[in-house]
Structure 1
Amino acid sequence: MEIQRLIGLIGLLGGQDGTDPRVTSARESARSALVARGGAAVPLLLAELREDDGPLGWSEAAFLLRRIGEPALMPLADAIAAAPSPSAVRRARFAFIGLEVPCLAAYAPAVCHPHPWVRESVAYAFQARGTGAADEAHRLVPLLADPVEAVRRGAMWALKGAGEGVLPLLRGLRRERGGPGASRRAALEVLASVGGPQALDSADRAALRRLIRIRAGGEVPEPMAPCGPWFALPTGDQEAVLDAFGLSHPEPVTMRLGAAAWRHDRHTAPGRHGRCSRIYVSPELDGWTLVFGVPSPHAHRAAATAAPGGLSPAGVRRWCAELSRRFGTAHWYGMRCTDDWTAWCFAEDGRVVRAYDVFDPAQASGDRHPAELPGPLPHEEEFPPGSFDGIAEADATAFLASFADVRRDLGMPGAPSAAEVAGRASVDPASLGPQTKITGQALLALTACGRSYGHPGGALRV
């Protein structure tokens, strides 16, 4: 009865003026008194958690269960397992993940709970602690081999979030030859995600290099999704390319891995230097070597101007001119998957002959390149101003949609993207395939930032 009375009082005070210090003090006193009842209060709070119109409200019940801490842990685990609806699962998980326990070891009994929702919730609880979970991360190891994929994935996310403090644990797991294969594979992915290739020990690095050699031998080029800057140089001399970009420590990789590294570094690489630590240098593709990424000095200078491709327009032109002195011709292309930005720059014999950026067409230089013809440039309207004066907006929209269909069916050229211009002038990364002639080996090489900070963390497809 006392617990029920406290629940009613907290609910009543919750509906009063929240700015009145007397109400606030009374409500907090009632909360503290209820929490002091510990496990005895848990059944009634769980009932409140399930109700939509109880005196407390489910969120208040959840926060009180969190404050009770360990006595509420296994009852909440059972509530998750028995939840009759997705909303009931979310409510119970909310309370479970945020329990105020002094140490994550309290969650150990729930690791072996028969219901996968509970085991997955344990992983969420560890993930919520971030690097604070490192000391107890060994308790997640059984979940890496869980029969349910969502549980395995949750445990991996939690270990990744725990940071570098879990690296010794994961290296030890990799060396346990008698352990579950799933755990060892997951440990390898987390090691790469947290610490990058340098986090692997010598045996794992040797195994990875063997796998790359095997897969690179018969690899068929795959289309890439351009998002970021890349250069195209008419050469197969990779040593000269590495020297021209100030790269070192080249590591042979598959083209798939190189492309994955470019995407990862562009979008999700952690840390200040994640986007500028390494560059993917392709093998020779139809007579051209493609270089994906931005050398670190240029990337840091361009960051101050928020240049879309990681290089300022002036930096692009200087680079292309400098590279063309060495290779005769140098192309630079830029695209971004988040908007319509597209740009390109061509240089020959130390001189920029054409530069275009859809976001700054007034600064374009040089005559239109044959690869841009015959359609309009991306910033240009296909129809002159006033073409749709006096026509209803719906009719104009329908006409433009129909025109786009006709143009596609007849193969009529439209405004080109950087990838399409590249396909006509050099090599289109989005059109790589079995028809592409390959010479040499794909490489990942370190920039100046990479030499100082190493490869960014991240697991990549081989």
Structure 2
Amino acid sequence: MDKRLLIEQLSDGYNQTRPARDALVAQGAAVVGAVLELLCDERAGVDWSVSADVLQRIGEPALLPLAEAAAGAGSAEVTRRIGYALGRLKVADLAAYLPLLEHPHAEVRSTALFAFQTREEEAAGFVERLLPLLGDPDPEVRQRAVWTFEAIGSAAVPALRAVRERPATGPRIRRGALQALAGAARPGELGDRDLAAWRRLTRIKLADEVPSGLHLCGSWYALPTTDQAAVLDAFDLGDAEPVTLRTGAAAWNQAQHSWSGRRPHTGCARVFVSPALAGWTLVFGDSAAATHRIRDREEARDQVVRERCAELGRRFGAAQWYGMSCGDGWTAWCIATGGEVVRHYDVFAAEEDDDPLGPPHPAESGFLLPHEDGFPDDAFDGVNLSDNAAFRARYDQVKEELGIPDTCYATDIAARLSVDPSALGPDTPVTGHGLLALTACGREHGHPSGALPA
């Protein structure tokens, strides 16, 4: 069938276009230009994933055309589409991507690295060719190179160590190799020299660190103390290492987003203890014992949290626990005064008609709780809910006319009672430095693998 007719059929929806996609793939290189043009057209009435699928399955004939299109992409959206297709091409031999590692356009180099990252066993045979990308002029390419070596793992360790030991190697690539080693090496494989280099870099960064807001996904405690030793003892933490806020937050986020069954203690091996922030010490993570009690379903999270808050409240005079998710709208807080929990709210529990523990806290005053809907049932009658602009305009109008309060989240309560970690900035009073400390699981199994920024 004529390629123009086949391309016209691509507007029928993903599942309905399978015959047309298969026919275009069978024509191979002859249709790459037309399908690529469709992929790059943001006004086309075709789902971009349809044209991307065709190019991915055509494979190597689409490689160079996609690379050139990435170099000339006119928008971030087109760049994203091309990168998605280019990194997932059905190419039999990874060697086909090698010329793209030297492409003048950074997006092309990064996408080529992604292909190696997703095929780590094969990529192990190209380690020497990948090493220069650790010193790439573009920071995103350097980061992608680090992730690629992390994926390759122990097979890359000898080459990375060799780079670290070459006096003539530039500082940027040596620094990149150190980051890659931290992610690729198994616990115990990182040598004393490299550990010393990492600690030296941390000391340099700590000397002039300026706080900035943290990405919040998970839970943390807030304690009204500057006594880090007491905090370490309260959470049964040891082997504490000084770290920047950036490093500590990255370790916490790594733990929260680790779902690999190959390293089952990644999420409970270490905890980030902040410097004193406006007189409060924040603890991101939990002790291994509490984590396992929750994970093994021996007890519900709310019971573990309340017990821990009460225990910490007795020790430090007060204690707070907060939770936020970057993916599903979960937010929660637990507040203890002395050894008594006076308030525990969890949005998911509230949505299931479970009453929060304790009466509303004064910090919630003037807010709607996350499960509450202050809008009347007919507030959006006649509004096209798929039109974001129209919905938002109506939302703002009704909210203002009826005086509907803002909704509060854990960060709002934290800002009123202690410290909002997402709002840290140059004006935040800081005393001391952060610590990355091992839990009982961490002391037994070691730090999780994975590079952390200094």
TM-score (norm 1): 0.70
Going from structure 1 to structure 2, the CA distance change for 1:113 and 1:137 (only over 3 Å counts) comes to closer
Q: What does 1:218-367 correspond to in 2, within 5 Å?
A: 218-268=208-258, 271-305=263-297, 312-361=301-350, 362-367=354-359
Q: What does residue 98 of structure 1 align with?
A: 92
Distance in 1, matches of 2:250 and 2:237, equals 19
Deviation for aligned residue 1:290: 0.7
Q: How does 1:54-93 map to 2 (within 5 A)?
A: 80=64
Alpha carbons of 1:301 and 1:120: their partners in 2 closer, same or farther (altered >3 Å)?
Answer: same
In the alignment, the residues of structure 2 paired with residue 403 and residue 64 of structure 1 have an alpha-carbon distance, to the nearest angstrom, of: 51
Give the AA of the match of 2:218.
G
Alpha carbons of 1:367 and 1:152: their partners in 2 closer, same or farther (altered >3 Å)? closer
Judged with a 3 Å threshold, the aligned counterparts in structure 2 of structure 1 residues 131 and 215 are, in CA distance, closer, same or farther, namely same
Measured after TM superposition, the shift of residue 245 of structure 1 is 0.5
Report what 1:24 is aligned to.
none
Residue 376 (structure 1) aligned to one of 368, 374, 377? 368
Quote the Cα distance in structure 2 between the aligned partners of 1:388 and 1:62: 47
How is 1:204-215 mapped onto 2 (pairs within 5 angstroms)? 204-215=194-205
CA distance in 2, matches of 1:372, 1:90: 43
User: 1:130-155, CA deviations, whole angstroms, 9 ceiling, x for partnerless residues?
Assistant: 23543552343345456777876665
Report the CA distance shift for 1:378/1:123 in structure 2 as closer, same or farther (over 3 A).
closer
The amino acid across from 2:291 in the alignment is A
How far, CA to CA, are the matches of 2:87 and 2:210 in structure 1?
Answer: 46
Of the structure 1 ranges 420-429 and 132-141, higher mean CA displacement relative to structure 2 is found in 132-141
Q: Do the aligned residues in 2 keep the contact of 1:81 with 1:115 (CA within 8 Å)? A: no
Spell out, residue by residue over 1:158-184, the C-alpha distance to the aligned partner (whole angstroms, 9 max, x if none). 422211121122111111111244432
Identify unmatched segments of 5+ residues in structure 1: 1-46, 54-58, 67-75
Question: How many residue pairs get matched?
Answer: 389
Matched residues in 2 for 1:291 and 1:333: separation? 10
Task: Give the match's secondary structure for 1:345.
Answer: strand
Given that residues 108 and 139 in structure 1 are in contact (C-alpha distance below 8 angstroms), is that contact kept between their aligned partners in structure 2? no
Kept in 1, the 8 Å contact 2:223–2:282? The answer is yes
> 1:15 maps to what in 2?
none
Cα deviation for residue 331 of structure 1 reads 0.8
1:402 corresponds, among 369, 394, 397, to: 397
Mapping 1:147-162, distance limit 5 Å = 155-162=145-152
User: Given residue 275 of structure 2, which amino acid in structure 1 is its aligned partner?
Assistant: P
Letter in 2 for 1:340: G
Aligned: 1:50 with 2:34: no
User: How far apart, CA to CA, are the structure 2 residues paired with 1:417 and 1:247?
Assistant: 29
Go from structure 1 to structure 2 and tell me whether the alpha carbon gap of 1:194 and 1:327 turns closer, same or farther (over 3 Å shift): same
Q: 1:157 to 1:237 in 2, by over 3 A?
A: closer
> SS of the residue aligned with 2:210?
coil
Q: Secondary structure at the match of 2:348?
A: coil
2:397, 2:55 → 1: CA distance? 57
Residue 126 of structure 1 and its aligned partner are, at CA, apart by: 4.3
Cα distance between partner residues in 1 of 2:249 and 2:298:
23
Deviation (angstroms), 1:241 = 0.7
Deviation at 1:347, TM superposition (A): 1.6
Q: 2:414 aligns with which of 418, 422, 444?
A: 422
Q: Is the 8 A contact 1:317 1:345 kept in 2?
A: yes
Q: What's the RMSD between the two structures over aligned residues?
A: 4.3
CA distance in structure 1 between the aligned counterparts of 2:357 and 2:54, rounded to whole angstroms: 64
CA distance in 2, matches of 1:350, 1:174: 52
Letter in 2 for 1:138: E
Cα–Cα, structure 1 residues 253 and 269, in superposed 2: closer, same or farther, change >3 Å?
farther
Residue by residue over 1:103-152, the C-alpha shift from the partner in whole angstroms, topping out at 9 and shown as x without a partner, is x8xx4995699756998787566445423543552343345456777876
Secondary structure of the residue aligned to 2:406 is coil
Are 1:141 and 2:131 counterparts? yes
Q: Does 1:216 align with 2:209?
A: no
Shift of 1:49: 3.6
Shift of 1:427: 1.4
1:321-348 Cα deviation digits (max 9, x unpaired): 1111211211111111112211111122
Distance 1:89 1:438, change over 3 A: closer
| Distance across 2 between alignment mates of 1:345 and 1:293 | 15
For residue 446 of structure 1, the aligned residue among 435, 438, 447 is 438
C-alpha separation in 1, matches of 2:54 and 2:344 = 61
Query: TM-score with structure 2 length normalisation?
Result: 0.71
| Residue type at the aligned position of 2:250 | A
Q: 1:399, 1:108 → 2: CA distance?
A: 52
SS of the residue corresponding to residue 374 of structure 1 reads coil
Ranges in structure 2 where 5+ consecutive residues have no aligned partner: 1-25, 33-52, 71-80, 385-389
Q: Equivalent residue for 2:178?
A: 188
Does the residue aligned with 2:450 lie in a helix, a strand or coil? Answer: coil
Counterpart CA distance in 1 for 2:140 and 2:210 is 32
Question: 2 CA distance for matches of 1:225 and 1:91?
Answer: 29
> 2:102 and 2:215 mapped to 1: Cα distance?
42
SS of match in other structure, 1:340: coil
Equivalent positions of 1:13-24 (< 5 A) are none
Q: 1:94 to 1:251 in 2, by over 3 A?
A: closer
Distance 1:267 1:337 in 2: 10
Residue 92 of structure 1: how far off its partner (Å): 9.6
| Counterpart residue type for residue 199 of structure 2 | R
